[in-house]
Amino acid sequence: MNDTNMKTSKFYKVITELGLTPNEVSVYLAALSLGPSSVAHIARAAELERANVYRVIDSLQNHGLMSISIDGLKKKYAA
């Protein structure tokens, strides 16, 4: 396992222990790596269906871990 994968794995374990679901962790890590992005981009990076990602983003927003911004007519989500 390379250094980046090991760090990501440790980070994944820590935030899972904080009570986030595996899908929340996947979406959060995808959003962190992408920066402000559409739900479609986050869903692709997290390897989840877009409909599920909307629900997960709502949950992460309730935890204060994601924010939403509007860029013209498009919504961008960021961790």
Q: Which domains does the chain have, with CATH numbers?
A: 3-78 (1.10.10.10)
Query: Averaged over 69-78, what is the pLDDT?
Result: 94
pLDDT value at 4 more than 80? no
Q: How many angstroms separate the CA atoms of 24 and 71, rounded? A: 24
pLDDT value at 62 more than 90? yes
Q: How many angstroms separate the CA atoms of 10 and 39, rounded? A: 25
Q: What confidence tens digit (pLDDT) does each residue in 7-50 have?
A: 667 877 787 788 899 999 999 999 999 999 999 999 999 999 99
Q: Are residues 26 and 46 in contact, defined by beta-carbon separation less than 8 angstroms?
A: yes
DSSP single-letter state for residue 36: S
